[in-house]
Amino acid sequence: MKRGLVLLIFVILAGGLLLIPALLDFGVPAFSDMDDYFLKNGQEQTAANNIVTAVVFDYRGFDTLGESVVLFTAVVGVGLMFRHMLKEEEYEDE
Amino acid sequence: MRMSKLVRTGADLLYPFALIFGLYIILHGHLTPGGGFQGGAVVATGAAIVIVAWAYEDVAGMIRKVTMKAQESAGLLLFIGTAALALGLGYAFFTNVLANSGSLFGLSVPFGPNPGELNTAGVIPIMNIAVGIEVWGGLTVILLYLLSGLKKEEGS
C-alpha cells in the first residue's frame, strides 16, 4: 500500500518533469536572455573570441576555481591511498 | 610489462606531438574550442601512451612524480594568484583587469566573426595556462600511481 503510493507520487513527479520540455518546440530554449547578453557583450567586455571560455574563466570564474580544487583534491586522495599501498617498494619522493 | 619494439617506437614518436598539440589547445583556449582542462588532458594522454608502451620503471626517472606534483600545486597557485591580482588593484575577485587595457593580452576584438589575435582576452589566457599546467600535472600523477603496477618483467 505504502509502496504503491510512493510509486504513484514518483510517476506523477517524473511525468510533470518530462512534460515541460515536451511542450516546447525543438531547438527553442525556454529562456534566452542570458545567452543573448553573453553573445552581445561578451566580445566587448572580455575581448575573447571564444564565448565559452569567456563564460568559464571570466563570468563564472568561481565555478572554475571549484573545479580546479576538486581535481587537486582527487589527486591528493589518490596519492594518499597509493602511498600507503606502495610503502614497501621504492619510494623516490623523499 | 614492456610492449613490443614497434609499439614502443610508435609511443616515442607520438609523445612530442601529443605534447605540442596539448600545449596548442591550452595556449589558444580563448580563440578556438578547448582550453586548460582539455589541453591538459591531451598532454596527460601522451604520458599515458609512453607509460603503457614502456614499463613504469623505465618512465619513472623521466616523468617524475615530484615534478608533476609541484607542477600541479604551482598551477593552482597561479590560478588563484591571477584571480587575486584584481584584489590588489582595487577590483573584485576574478575581475578581468587586463582585458582591453593595451598591455599584456590587452588588445580589443571587434564585434562578430573575426580572424582572432593571440594577444587578447586579458587574464583568460593566463588562467588557461594555469589550469592547463594543473591538469597536466594532476592527471599525470594519477596515471603514474595507477600504472605503477606495470613491471618491466612479467610476473615479477
A44 CB near a chain B CB, below 8 Å?
Answer: yes
Torsional class of B153: left (φ above 0), alpha (ψ -120 to 50), beta (otherwise):
beta
Where is pLDDT greater, at B30 or A92?
B30
Torsional class of B150: left (φ above 0), alpha (ψ -120 to 50), beta (otherwise):
beta
3-state SS track over chain A: CHHHHHHHHHHHHHHHHHHHHHHCCCCCCCCCHHHHHHHHHHHHHHCCCCHHHHHHHHHCHHHHHHHHHHHHHHHHHHHHHHHHHCCCCCCCCC
With a CB-CB cutoff of 8 Å, which residues 40-99 of chain B face chain A? 60, 64-66, 69, 72-73, 75-76, 79-80, 83, 94, 96, 99
Residues A6 and A10: their CA atoms lie apart, in Å, by 6
Amino acid B88: pLDDT: 85
For A39-59, write each residue's pLDDT tens digit: 888 888 888 888 888 888 888
Q: Which residues of A touch B128 (CB under 8 A)?
A: 53, 57
DSSP 8-state secondary structure symbol assigned to residue B101: S
pTM: 0.78
Amino acid A10: pLDDT: 93
Residues B135 and B26: their CA atoms lie apart, in Å, by 11
At A65, the amino acid letter reads L
Place of cell 608502451: B53
DSSP B21-80: HHHHHHHTTTTSS--HHHHHHHHHHHHHHHHHHS-HHHHHTTS-HHHHHHHHHHHHHHHH
At B104, the amino acid letter reads L
Q: What does the CA dihedral A84, A88, A90, B1 come to, rounded to 10 degrees?
A: -90
Residue A93, pLDDT above cutoff 60: no
Which chain A residue is nearest to residue B80, measuring alpha carbons?
A65
A87: pLDDT confidence band, cut at 50, 70 and 90? low
Name the percent of chain A lying above pLDDT 90: 14
CB atoms within 10 A of CB B95: 18
Q: Give 10-residue mean pLDDT values along chain B (156 residues).
A: 84 91 90 87 90 82 84 90 85 81 78 80 87 91 82 61
Amino acid B156: pLDDT: 46
A93 CB near a chain B CB, below 8 Å?
Answer: yes
